[in-house]
Amino acid sequence: MAEETTIPGWKRWLEGIGDQVEFIIKFVRNIFTGGFEWSEFIRQCYEIGYRSIMLVGITSFIMGMVLILQLRPTLVSFGAVSMLPKTLSVSFIREIGPVIIAIICAGKIASSIGAELGSMKVTEQLSAMEVSGANPVQYLVVTRILATTLMVPLLSVLGDAIGLFGGYLALNLRDSMSFSLYFGKIIGALDFSDFLPALVKTIFFGFAIGFVGCYKGFHSNKGTESVGIAANSAVVTASLWIFVIDGIAVQITSLLFYK
Amino acid sequence: MEKTKEHTEPKKQAPKAKEEVVIAIKGLKKSFGKKHVLNNINLELKRGENLVILGRSGTGKSVTIECIVGLLKPDKGSIKVFDNEVVEMNDKELKELRMKIGFLFQSGALYDSMTIRENLEFPLTRILKMKDQREIDKKVKQGLDDVGLLESIDKMPSDLSGGMRKRAGLARTLVVNPEIMLYDEPTTGLDPITSREISELILNIQKKNKTSSIIITHDMECARIAADRVLVMENGEYIAEGTFDDLHKSKNKTVCAYFNDIL
């Protein structure tokens, strides 16, 4: 129905920024106004968190194993095989674990939220909710963004633990190290400054995944093709945001902890 | 094709109780880009009346009712619902108004992730803020019984046929007892028997709940069954108005085109 008009790229980009700011304001306002949708929030935590455990677990386990197998030859040449647990734990907890798990979550969660809300828009479910006097932002957006903000850090912690366990098994394929010695070395190597910044950035990763998924779904066009576009765009944008947030987080962490 | 305004007097004189105007639209204009979808629309819906708007796809029928509930903002004109100007309403006022208006979407727009029971519970708990589960259950069962879908109460929308989905959507809309019903092509995509059932259901709702309704359709059988008054729309403006029988006798070529294949 709407006729295509030529809008300059920069103007469309600015409009997009404005829409996103407006969407964040709506989200924040709806957290504190009206009743909180506890049942939907818990359902989303289950869908986002529990249903991602297997994927995150398998990926982290393999990443832990692969890292040990890749690091080993280099450390052997320095005669520093005993440093493997420390090297793995620092790299995995600080950087690789949170980022890889967040990327996996962006692929699974942001796309599913984008597709779900996009198809709700196409099938007029969002309009139906709006004209009935209910609040779609409160019911659909607030619950999903808060659920991802809570669940992604928890998945990240779980993924870290599974990844380190994978590393232990890989280490014992060639060498022999007891479970208690391996985890003793890991705990000894880790510091508060390794764990906390990584956990804090996963909270932002979770927010970005939920926000981008909801925004792309809510602002998809009408038409079945736009559901696929919304899902795809949600994954790409969320992944990009994860790297941007990671870059900023590393700079801040370096300034605060590793002078 | 010549398009002249043709206003025919309603066949029957409406009783006085029906004279109260619940929706009044004056000079409504809406464009999308360079396309003018609504050109100076004037419309009145009286209490207890079923008004059918006929017209081809893309003539602005759905846009009209989307403007009434504030889903779209008109470029120009006035829309008064119960004497309140919709165009000037803020979000809170719009939300309060929407509680009095039921909107049946073309697809039924059932919430896919919920069962039919949960679909009907949703407006009761979120809009009417009902807390008593027994009272909610009673209303849900009554609502589904009214549309003949009680046996599907625990089914998912994907398990229902197109006609059943529309009836479930109707039940969800009616469960909050709206004073005005807006139907967006309620019989589109349905077989003739189901279409007739839906049309009769619309008529029964009017009689039972005393609702005022605007029915957007291009289904002449639906118009014949449900309409007290019919408006014919073409290129964003009304070209004829009257009862179904009056318009059937119309000499206007565009109006005749709608009635050619029936009666």
- The C-alpha atoms of residue A111 and residue B177 are separated, in whole angstroms, by 38
Q: Taking every pair of C-alpha atoms in chain A, what is the biggest distance, in angstroms?
A: 71
The whole-number pLDDT of residue B5 equals 42
| Residues A134, B127: C-beta atoms closer than 8 Å | yes
Asked if residue A134 is part of any domain, the answer here is: yes
For residues B221-231, average pLDDT:
89
Mutant choice from A48, A113, A124, A135 vs B, greatest count of B C-beta within 10 A: A124
* pLDDT value for B10: 36
Residues B161 and B149: their CA atoms lie apart, in Å, by 12
Q: A11 in a domain, yes or no?
A: no
Does A66 fall in a domain?
A: yes
In a domain, A97, yes or no: yes
Above 70 in pLDDT, residue B214?
yes
HEC readout, B229-243: EEEEEECCEEEEEEC
pLDDT of residue A155: 97
Q: How far is B2 from chain A (nearest CA, A)?
A: 24
**What's the pLDDT score for residue B8?**
34
pLDDT at B9: 37
| Helix A84-91 vs helix A143-174: crossing angle, to nearest 10 | 170
Contact B76, B134 (CB under 8 A): no
Q: What pLDDT, on a 0 to 100 scale, did the predictor assign at position B138?
A: 94
Average pLDDT of the residues in A20-30: 92
% of chain A exceeding 90 in pLDDT: 73
Q: Is residue A71 part of a domain?
A: yes
CB contact under 8 A, B33 and A5: yes
B33 contact A CB<8A: yes
- Look at residue A8 in the predicted model and tell me its pLDDT: 80
Provide the 3-class DSSP secondary structure of residue B87.
coil
* Domains defined along chain B, listed by start: 44-100+181-192+207-263 (3.40.50.300), 107-177 (no CATH)
pLDDT of residue B3: 40
Of the candidates A1, A4, A133, the beta carbon closest to that of B98 is on A133
Residue A10 lies in a domain: no
Q: How far apart are CA B258 and CA B243, in angstroms?
A: 14
What strand order describes the sheet that includes B229-234? B6-7, B237-242, B229-234, B50-55, B212-217, B180-184, B101-104
Inter-chain residue contact B112 with A119, CB threshold 8 Å:
yes
Model ipTM value = 0.81
A124:B34 CB<8 A = no
Report the number of distinct structural domains present in chain A.
1
Instruction: Please determine, for residue B232, whether its predicted confidence score (pLDDT) is greater than 60.
Output: yes
CB A97 within 8 A of CB A202: no
Taking each helix axis as running N to C, give the angle between helix A111-122 and helix A192-218, from 0 to 180 degrees, rounded to the nearest 10.
Answer: 20
CA-CA distance, A59 to A239, in Å (whole number)? Answer: 17
Q: Are A216 and A118 within 8 A, CB to CB?
A: yes
What SS3 class is residue B132? coil
Question: If you ran DSSP here, which 8-state letter would residue A203 be given?
Answer: H
> Looking at the predicted structure, is the pLDDT value of residue B13 above 70?
no
What tokens appear for B88 in the block? 């000037």
Domain range for A225: 37-257
User: Do residues B50 and B199 lie in contact, with contact meaning Cβ atoms separated by under 8 Å?
Assistant: no
CB atoms B69 and A123 under 8 Å: no
Is A188 a member of any domain? Answer: yes
Q: What does the alpha-carbon distance between residue B257 and residue B263 come to, in Å, rounded to a whole number? A: 13
* Sole residue written with tokens 């049946």: B104
Record the tokens describing residue B233, joined without a space.
């729309």
What one-letter code names the amino acid at B228? D
Mean pLDDT (chain B) is: 85
The verdict on residue A17 lying in a domain is no
B157 touching A (Cβ < 8 Å): no
pLDDT of residue B221: 87
**Helix (H), strand (E) at residue A184:** helix A179-189
**Which residue among B32, B35, B123 places its CB closest to the CB of A132?**
B123
